[in-house]
Structure 1
Amino acid sequence: MTSTSIHASSRRRNRSRSDTQAASRTTERLGLLLAVAICLPLLYTGTSLLFAGIASHQASAFLSDWERKGEEPGERAWQIARDAAQRAIDLYPVANGAYQHRLGLIEQWQQFRQPFGEPKAEASRRAALQAFRAATEARPTWPEHWSALAYAKLYLLEFDAEFHSALQRAHELGPWRIAINRRIAEIGFTAWPQLNASERERILESARRTAAYSTQEAQNLLAIAKRAGMTDELCDSLNSASKDTRKICH
């Protein structure tokens, strides 16, 4: 082999090695870019979830405090809690029924001691209604959202198709959840004149389930019935054994 041939062969080997190294570097860069493209959305989603959780916890803390005190919150506390609840919704990547439900409760707490149908409380109660609607859309099988929606309609004294449908959905989806049955009974006793015969029977069914659960629940239910002027209807729906066991309606 001549000297010229040897040099040409060496140059070809060097070019081949160089091309292989260049291809390897290109592959590495593409792999790095792909990894970054995958990681950035995951990092963004993880960060959003973290901050949504923090905002949700803050809103929950305010709600717990108000429930313990049983008083309407001050304007500043209410605004901070509402902002936190809305922030949690905005930061969460998808529709979150629990977060929407919490926002609805916070909206209601602004003027929760005002009477049903009170005009000056309409704005906050209508905002609560919107939040509960969003909650039912995000989690349509959760009875808590439907009972909250029905109660929001009761607050506004809107006994329309949406009210009746929400009350029925709550009854269907939460047949053995005591908190749901108690709330259904409370809504039904308050809205009794607006209900038809089959709806009234569903209300009394929820009331019987509540009374059967425990003596404490039965006593609480009796107090609800008294406030609504529904003591006779409740007591007439209970059998003697239930009245004796739970020590009510004597």
Structure 2
Amino acid sequence: MTTTVPLPSRRRNRSRSTTQDAKPLAQRFAILLAIALSLPLLYTGSRLLLAAIAAYQTQAFLDDWTVKGEEPSPRAWQIAHDAAQRAVDLHPGDNGEYLQRLGHVQQWKQYRQPFGAAEAEQSRRAALEAFRAASRVRPTWPDNWTALAYAKLYLLEFDGEFAHALEQARDLGPTRLAINRSRAEIGLIAWPQLDTQQRQATLEAARMTVKHSTGEARKLLEIAGQTGMTEVLCDNLAATEKQDRKICQ
């Protein structure tokens, strides 16, 4: 008697073989899909990393210039500017912090030139544009608004934009030392151009700065002396504040 292999068994073998062949194909497809999906992430991540490196380099220059208090050399300024611009360009989308750094670099180009100096207008106008962009990206950051107000001061543009920047800085950073210090400095320098409300806001910021520490009080008094505002500042400080900080005596 002859024994034959049932056809259903052969079908099962072929089905099992087909299934086994399909598994590697599915795995390869999944790997290729994962690679395709990860490429944009890798690209974006690389840009973020390079932008952060450029921003760090820019900040190192700004910190050094701040300590020295001198205009940078043309070569140093160009390196810092290229780094600042690279950080802005590489970052996917607008970054308010990087735009603000770019503005500060522009301001340092002719830092020692007088307010309103024609030869410094181009770099200071570029700084203003960078601060405007930073304020659009981060409208709730008071630092952007004080930077914008400073840029307007350097250009001697005491208009509605200048007033709005000071108001935003006051409203968004009412208790922050850096904001009050900047508002007080800007106000003391621009005093003849301010209206009554702006002058009151300046003196308010000055008092809050003086209350912070003796060091801050003396720095502000020095600025007042340079701008002929010593008497105005001292007349608007309480006797206890002047005694505690050992100023205006």
TM-score (norm 2): 0.93
Q: Deviations over 1:52-78 (max 9, x none)?
A: 121112111111221222111111111
Query: Matches of 2:200 and 2:211 in 1, distance apart?
Result: 16
Match of 1:127 in 2: 126
Shift of 1:84: 0.5
Match of 1:58 in 2: 57
Shift of 1:193: 2.2
Instruction: Give secondary structure in 2 for the equivalent of 1:176.
Output: coil
Greater shift after overlay, 182-191 or 8-17? 8-17
RMSD: 1.8
**What one-letter code is carried by the residue in structure 1 that aligns with 2:213?**
S
Match of 1:98 in 2: 97
Shift of 1:10: 4.7
Match of 1:196 in 2: 195
Query: Matches of 1:163 and 1:140 in 2, distance apart?
Result: 15
Shift of 1:232: 1.8
Match of 1:87 in 2: 86
Query: Matches of 1:11 and 1:91 in 2, distance apart?
Result: 61
Instruction: Give secondary structure in 2 for the equivalent of 1:36.
Output: helix
**What one-letter code is carried by the residue in structure 1 that aligns with 2:231?**
D
Match of 2:36 in 1: 37
Query: Matches of 1:220 and 1:212 in 2, distance apart?
Result: 12
Matched, 1:160 2:159: yes
Sequence identity (%): 61
Q: Deviations over 1:196-246 (max 9, x none)?
A: 211111110000001111111111111111112211211111111111111
Matched, 1:75 2:74: yes
Any stretches of 5+ residues in structure 2 without a counterpart?
none
Query: Matches of 1:48 and 1:242 in 2, distance apart?
Result: 51
Query: Matches of 1:89 and 1:11 in 2, distance apart?
Result: 66
1:199-218 counterparts in 2 under 5 A? Answer: 199-218=198-217
Query: Matches of 1:30 and 1:194 in 2, distance apart?
Result: 70
**What one-letter code is carried by the residue in structure 1 that aligns with 2:127?**
A
Extract structure 1 runs of 4+ deviating beyond 4 A.
2-5
Instruction: Give secondary structure in 2 for the equivalent of 1:249.
Output: coil
Any stretches of 5+ residues in structure 1 without a counterpart?
none
